[in-house]
Structure 1
């Protein structure tokens, strides 16, 4: 299968390597010049846990440079940039192309519907993890899975078969919105709290009040979900959080928001905790924890960007 991965960062790179290894023709699409140059020059370096580094050569181009026709485009672009990405790669999307969105956060399906029909859209969630430590190098831990569903009437079987050839542990669900809210609940705990506590997932779990913090966030999300007709399964989310703490799963992983902050990027907080706080305001539901976390992450974004700018000025001098 000919597959493009739009958003070839930490997770996109990991999935791309696995799909290429399974025999699929994979092209990465990304907008970070240093990352593109590193991969196209020296290959993608992958370090899995304590194993020796391995090199993989996956072609990668910018969104405006990509050409050809693709059977599947996996969308891992962060939600704030998704609309722009789809506009830039419009020339490679045919009526036969399926788009599978695995990006974190809520609101992605609505954005994609502006560009293609519902029968071309697959929505999913993934528990695969990866860390982009520098341009052209990722560190991976544990294993993961993917749940997906056709938004319209697309035949998902060829896609599922192709992804499972790469051992991506794909499962078809009949309630992807519930799964997306489930994953958003997990991310609304682990992503911002890893930033605010300067901790990976395992370190977060060592905090005596870690699960109390999680419950405060999730109780608000459950109330917001009920107002939207979504049943948020708090015990299920808490069970998944507990499993993710284990080193063999994702315990040694620093979530993507932590990585974004370290790299001076804006985060997806407005499509996680911020999304729930916004809906809460609209529905007159109190969400003080999610609102506070959103404001703290925005403050952290500003602080870290100023620090990085000063470091750059010092280096240039």
Structure 2
């Protein structure tokens, strides 16, 4: 089924920047632009920026023909102006640097919504802006960056978000829902973030280690057993921080996500990062839980092992890519 972007305007147009204009940022960007909002992408990958600014962004949704979308993308230090909303999709390890670089475009009226995977994002944002400017959320939208300037998308998704301080976020929710982003508010976003982190701590690293899409992971006879090993540790760690981790709810979402008609054909961002020789966000997923476990004397052998294996995989793939580059240059 072709993904539909065209909508009928009935909310105020917003000026929106998406910081971290990779696979997911690009998907959200074209949906928001097609709903009538002024959207600018911010990213640090020169080849990706050049491809979009020169030839447009190519979007392939499932088995449909490619479509082109045109919207400006620039580096953090090139962007200027004032924005109603900045959506942060930068990886957590790079979030502090991104916020530092885009500080000139953040006014007291700007709201910042973080949708990045991992834990610790809110604390980083609070170092740069007032709490009343911070929105935190989780998303089940997916996308794959195939090459500079081209993304492939499957299925649909949703977003849950919450204002961390005292702020009216109704206009933002309305604007995002005008773009069919399926946004709902919650009064307990931290639980939702831990829930999403639990999902990602299963699917992201195991897809890498098994070299599998989500659906392929689901065909393993012990897939949910491995998931339980990871999630039971996360539940114990969460209890030390007053977070209730509902394992049954996470397993139910995992089962939905791995279906081909949903996100089953998707390779998670960590898989894509590994293949591109990038460092992953493992230290803000399984590694985060392992670190808190050590602090709270909660054993986390599975999360610790997964973290170490992903770091090893990072090293192996980066060496491979370096050797390939050397061969190409010769």
TM-score using structure 1 length: 1.00
Cα distance between partner residues in 1 of 2:222 and 2:157: 26
SS of structure 2 residue aligned to 1:180: helix
The RMSD of aligned alpha carbons is 0.3
Aligned residue in 2 for 1:262? 275
Cα distance between partner residues in 2 of 1:58 and 1:91: 21
Aligned residue in 2 for 1:110? 123
Deviations, residues 174-227 of structure 1 (Å, cap 9, x unaligned): 100000000000000000000000000000000000000000000000000000
Aligned residue in 2 for 1:15? 28
Q: Per-residue deviation at 1:247?
A: 1.4
SS of structure 1 residue aligned to 2:160: strand
Deviations, residues 116-144 of structure 1 (Å, cap 9, x unaligned): 00000000000000000100000000000
Aligned residue in 1 for 2:108? 95
2:319 to 306, 313, 316: 306
Query: Given the alignment of the two structures, is residue 203 of structure 1 paired with residue 203 of structure 2, yes or no?
Result: no
TM-score using structure 2 length: 0.96
1:49 to 59, 62, 69: 62
1:291 to 300, 304, 328: 304
Cα distance between partner residues in 2 of 1:246 and 1:302: 31
SS of structure 1 residue aligned to 2:58: strand
Q: Per-residue deviation at 1:283?
A: 0.3
Cα distance between partner residues in 2 of 1:80 and 1:265: 12
Report matched runs for 1:1-317 at 5 Å: 1-317=14-330
Cα distance between partner residues in 1 of 2:50 and 2:291: 39
Cα distance between partner residues in 2 of 1:165 and 1:10: 21
Structure 2: which 5+ residue stretches go unaligned?
1-13
Cα distance between partner residues in 1 of 2:297 and 2:241: 13
Deviations, residues 151-171 of structure 1 (Å, cap 9, x unaligned): 001111011000000000000
Cα distance between partner residues in 1 of 2:232 and 2:259: 24
Cα distance between partner residues in 1 of 2:145 and 2:254: 22
SS of structure 1 residue aligned to 2:279: coil
Cα distance between partner residues in 2 of 1:139 and 1:263: 16
